[in-house]
A and B are shown apart, each in its own frame.
Chain A
Amino acid sequence: QVQLQESGPGLVKPSQTLSLTCTVSGGSIRSGGYYWAWIRQHPGKGLEWVGYIYFTGSAYYNPSLKSRVSISVDTSKNHFSLNLSSVTAADTAVYYCARYIDADWFFDLWGRGTLVTVSS
């Protein structure tokens, strides 16, 4: 079955860029009908949609993060990536990658999540 796995540094310095990758296994990221998403959860808080991308490269972002976020897809490596620039302590969170079903409008598959701490 399809699985998602986040990878990347667990510690990022303030003002630097947070970079994470989500590897899709057991299926192709080129499968139509899905958006590939990043969602974050601040410690003890709710979920926040960061953005998502279609395999064609069309990406959409949370307006509150749009000036700092970029999501890209590499179909040859079957993965997609998140870059969040100029990070502060407020960006400390568990970052999840997830799959969003276009036709049914929900997140049906999630990675296990990775904690990213912003600290000097």
Chain B
Amino acid sequence: QSALTQPASVSGSPGQSITISCSGTSSDVGSYNLVSWYQQYPGKAPQVMIYEGSQRPSGVSHRFSGSKSGNTASLTISGLQAEDEADYFCCSYAGNNIVVFGGGTKVTVL
């Protein structure tokens, strides 16, 4: 089971919108609407931002949204803020009780 593919880095200016892609296969992202997204600050544990493709847990800003098209999931951050500068990881259920993560994307707020 290969890792999901994410861009190494994405950047944007405050107030702008950015989108992070997460490319998988028909065996994981394409087969299940079970992609979750995690935000991680340096030296800290990840925390969930989106689950089941587009659901936001309680307490997560509405500026974070998720979507999927085919074998690719996406996380969009609108109204980019300095506090959004962090690493972001996607994760998908891949069947047979297997979970796969993406390589991570570093978001920089210019």
Residue positions of A touching B, CB distance < 8 A? 37, 39, 45-49, 52, 60, 62-64, 96, 100, 104-108, 110-113
Tell me, yes or no, whether B73 is within 8 Å of chain A by CB. no
Pick from A60, A104, A110, A112: contact of B51, CB under 8 Å: A104
Give 15 A-B contacts (CB < 8 Å), ordered by A residue: A37-B99, A45-B103, A45-B104, A46-B101, A47-B104, A48-B3, A49-B91, A49-B100, A52-B99, A63-B1, A96-B45, A105-B52, A106-B36, A106-B48, A110-B47
Most-contacted residue by chain B among A37, A49, A62 (CB, 10 A): A49
Residue-wise, chain B 49-77 has the 8 Å CB interface mask toward A (1 for contact) of 00110010100000000000000000000
Nearest-neighbour CB distance to chain B for A99, whole angstroms, equals 11
B residues whose Cβ falls under 8 Å from a Cβ of A: 1, 3, 32, 34, 36, 38, 45-48, 51-52, 55, 57, 89, 91, 93, 96-104
Q: Which residues of A contact B97 (CB under 8 A)?
A: 52, 60
Q: Are B89 and A105 in contact, with the CB atoms below 8 A?
A: no
Given A47-B91, A107-B36: A62 and B52 within 8 A (CB)?
A: no
Q: Considering the complex of A and B, which 10 residue pairs feature the smallest CB-CB distances, nearest first?
A: A106-B51, A60-B97, A106-B36, A110-B45, A46-B103, A47-B101, A46-B104, A105-B34, A49-B99, A47-B89
